[in-house]
Copies of this chain bind each other. A is one copy, B any other.
Amino acid sequence: MIVIGEKLNTSNRRIARAVVERDAAFIIAAAREQAEAGADYIDVNAGTLMEEEAQSLCWLVGTIQAEVDRPLCLDSADPMVLARAAECHRGEAMINSISLDAERLQGLLPLITSWPCRVVALCMPISGLPASAGDRVEAGAELAGRLTDAGVAPEKIYLDPLVQPVSVDAQAGVKILESLEGIRRRLPGVNIICGLSNISFGLPRRRLLNRSFLALCLSRGLDAAILDPTDERLMDMLLSTETLMGRDENCQSFIDAHLSGRFETEE
């Protein structure tokens, strides 16, 4: 599974301050920590900085890519900001995100079809937040269709079924699992991504809920997740679930992780 480190988001006050003060050392350390913990991509989001967003995101991209050898996941609701951040990025970025919203779709299609990138595509109907798993699969299929019609290869698309908190809707987790199964069935060539920690919003013991939910999503074919790779128990759960799902030949990765002392100490 592809791991996207979620920590460089200005909704966190310490990150926001470091971005505003252009504290490169702090940002590089936070990016490197995630890369060393297993992140394949580093997500960068400066959405809270409003009119400073585009400039801040470009600074983040340049600062991180000068020191940390990982592609970035460029995270903004504004197509113009994403276009500017993409210009600063070397190699194949992940664009987070596109949706069926006309302005967002039209604003991003030129970028996505002309740059080498992957794209997070939200399973959100034009009418607003999806209510059922069926709504999500429908919206995802329509958006994936628009993207492939425009020339985007299916394997570059990461459909996001939009995790809602189980504290708000007791069926929120089940709906995501059903969405994963529905997308996998209907669109076998397209990837699926989740923002994992939304599931536990508003509840105590969030990390426990996050790691349970990761196991459930992985067993339904999740391909990528935006998560905290420095959460060791979460990464242990990722590895053990991959092994249980038969994706670890002779359990070799699992045994190697044990022998290298990579697991946290306790059983």
A167-B251, A170-B251 known; A204 vs B244 contact (CB < 8 Å): no
Task: Known A203-B255, A205-B263, A240-B205; judge A170-B215 contact (CB<8 A).
Answer: no
For A170, the chain B residues whose CB sits under 8 A away are: 246, 248-251
Does A55 make an interface contact (CB < 8 A)?
A: no
Contacts of A215 in B (CB 8 A): 212, 215-216
Q: Mark A240-267, 1 if CB is under 8 A from B, else 0.
A: 1101111011110011001000010001
A153 at the interface (CB under 8 A from B): no
- Alpha-carbon distance between A236 and B199 when the two chains are bound, in angstroms: 17
Given A170-B251, A215-B216, A251-B166, is A243 in contact with B206 using a C-beta cutoff of 8 Å? no
Residue of B nearest to A169 (CB): B246
User: A244 and B199 in contact (CB under 8 A), knowing A215-B216, A216-B216?
Assistant: yes
Closest B-chain residue to A173, C-beta based? Answer: B244
Q: How far, in Å, is A161 (CB) from chain B's closest CB?
A: 15
A216 partner, pick from B205, B207, B244, B267, beta carbons under 8 A: B244
Name the residue of chain B whose CB is nearest to the CB of A212: B240
Is the CB–CB distance between A205 and B167 below 8 Å?
A: no
A209 at the interface (CB under 8 A from B): yes
Q: Check B206–A267 contact: CB distance below 8 A.
A: yes
Nearest B-chain residue to A244, judged by Cβ: B173
Q: Given the interface contacts A173-B244, A216-B219, A251-B166, does A263 sit within 8 Å of B203 by beta carbon?
A: no
The residue in chain B whose Cβ has the minimal distance to the Cβ of A215 is: B215
Identical copies in the complex:
2
Interface membership of A190, Cβ < 8 A: no
Q: How far apart sit A100 and B213, CA to CA, in the bound complex (Å)? A: 37
Q: Roughly how many angstroms separate A18 CA and B236 CA in the complex, as a whole number?
A: 36
- A236 neighbours in B (Cβ, 8 Å): 205, 208
Chain B CB within 10 Å — which of A205, A212, A245, A255 has the most?
A: A212
A174 contacts chain B at the CB level, 8 A cutoff:
yes
Contacts of A246 in B (CB 8 A): 166, 170-174
Give the distance in Å from the alpha carbon of A251 to the alpha carbon of B172 in the complex. Answer: 12
Chain A interface (Cβ within 8 Å of chain B)? 166-167, 170-174, 177, 199, 203-209, 212-213, 215-216, 219, 236-237, 240-241, 243-246, 248-251, 254-255, 258, 263, 267
